[in-house]
Structure 1
Amino acid sequence: MTLLTTWPESGPETVIRRTADPAEIAAALAPVGVRYEQWPVREDVPADADSDAVFAAYRTEIDRLNAEEGFQTVDVVALHPSDDPEWPEKAKAARQKFLAEHTHDDDDEVRFFVAGSGIFYLHVAGEVHAVYCEKGDLLGVPRGTTHWFDMGTSPAFTAIRFFHEEDGWIGTFTGSPIADRFPDFDAIHAGYTA
């Protein structure tokens, strides 16, 4: 189940909104240009499925979104715990890349969660929206929107990424420490699943 929590940008002491209702989430995010929708979950697609299996399972939805948005590149990214002794360091490095507030000047950030979960934090119009996404959730963050992403200390997700530009993910970091003031993935996940 997805969860949206909204706070003032000053900090998380006051909760403006907290909802797990998909229609309320879509309605709350639409005014800031963020696309939120749910796609059917394909239970027969394992969490660690390869790209070919993911594309085959979601071909109809991918084709529809490509027709609507004109994406040039679609790929699959996955991070799942492994027995590799270097996994903890690899996971930490992957997480650190996205934890600082940034924007994308030339492209939207559009992700569909095939498996697992992650949180997009959107810093827009004086508020911070934490969108806890799980399998079946699609989130489209418009270019120029300040945001960050947290996958937690033990990332476990598979997502389809959509790009208008062939260069893929290019972030422009704001230098703001705002992300440090808000609950991270692990804190929200613990409270959400408790």
Structure 2
Amino acid sequence: MTTLSIFHQSKPEQAHTVVTDPEAIQNVLAEHGVHFDRWATRELSVEASQDEILEAYADEVARLRQNWGFQAADVVSLTADHPQKEVFRQKFLDEHTHSEDEVRFFVRGQGVFYLHFDDQVYALLCKMNDLISVPDGTRHWFDMGPEPEFTCIRLFTNPEGWVADFTGADIASRLPRYEALAGEV
């Protein structure tokens, strides 16, 4: 189940609010300019290619491109047997921002987006069918867990793709990781 856990940065060990209703999650995140949505499931094999995945969601991707001006879309997939899974996990675990919106749609699997607003951190455990758009300039990080299993469609306004500006803050190291939030302790 998709879950939004809200932490105060002075008490990062304990969520003070947990939300599981998708409409309530959408409303809470919208207050911070974050777009959250759920798309209908498509029957795709685990081995589906990037082209097959983009074709299956062509209408939704086209609508986002038209409405938000995205220039590029691709698919990223990571599995527990990937030889560089720890390197990839570490790459996204530090707080950073982007100069464009970060948009992810979970075709399969799950991961946690952490969004840092003022003195609150919103940890959104995204699951299959979840779409999140993190506004440019938003302090955030992503945790895919030690045994990642996910496939996401990514959309970009910058054709160069993912470019991060790391904040240098240590907040990400003080909050519960994926394992705790996904119930895999």
Q: TM-score, normalised by structure 2?
A: 0.95
Percent of aligned pairs with the same residue?
Answer: 45
List 4+ stretches of structure 1 deviating above 3 A. Answer: none
2:94 partner amino acid: A
Does the aligned pair in 2 maintain the 1:119–1:185 contact within 8 Å? Answer: yes
Question: Which whole-Å deviations, capped at 9, do the CAs of 1:39-73 have from their partners, x for residues lacking one?
Answer: 0011x212332111101111111111111111001
- 1:136-164 Cα shifts (integer Å, max 9, x gaps): 00000001000000000011100000001
Query: Superposition pairs for residues 10-49 of structure 1, below 5 Å?
Result: 10-42=10-42, 44-49=43-48
1:12 offset after TM fit, Å? 2.6
Aligned to 1:37, the other structure's residue is in SS state strand
CA distance in 2, matches of 1:173, 1:59: 32
Gap change, CA 1:125 and 1:48, over 3 Å in 2? farther
Q: Give unmatched runs, 5+ long, in structure 2.
A: none
2:106 aligned partner: 113
Find the counterpart in structure 2 of residue 67 from structure 1.
66
Of 147, 150, 154, the residue aligned with 1:157 is 150
Conserved? CA contact 1:112–1:159, under 8 Å: yes
Q: Shift of the alpha carbon at 1:16?
A: 2.9
Which SS does the other structure have where 1:139 is aligned?
strand
Q: Deviations along 1:91-115, whole A, 9 cap, x unmatched?
A: 00000000000001x2110000000
CA–CA distance in structure 1, aligned partners of residues 107 and 67 of structure 2: 20
* Amino acid aligned to 2:73: V
**3-state secondary structure, aligned to 1:114:** strand
User: How many angstroms apart in 2 are the aligned matches of 1:48 and 1:127?
Assistant: 38
Structure-2 separation of matches of 1:53 and 1:13? 41
For the 8 Å contact 1:48–1:158, the answer to whether it is kept is no
Residue 128 (structure 1) aligned with residue 127 (structure 2): no
- Give 5+ residue unaligned stretches, structure 1: none
Task: Report the secondary structure of 1:16's partner residue.
Answer: strand
Q: 1:34 is aligned with what amino acid? A: V
* Greater per-residue helix proportion: 1
Pairs aligned (count): 185
Cα distance, 1:33–1:157 mapped onto 2, change above 3 Å: same
Kindly provide the amino acid, as one letter, of the partner of residue 100 in structure 1.
D
Do 1:70 and 1:164's aligned partners in 2 also have CA atoms closer than 8 Å? yes
1:83-136 Cα shifts (integer Å, max 9, x gaps): xxxx34x000000000000001x2110000000000000001210000000110
- Pair 1:189 & 2:185 matched: no
The SS at the match of 1:27 is helix
Answer yes or no: is the 8 Å Cα contact 2:29–2:36 preserved in 1: yes
Shift of the 176–2 alpha-carbon distance from structure 1 to 2, 3 Å rule, reads same
CA RMSD, 1 decimal? 1.4
TM-score (norm 1): 0.91
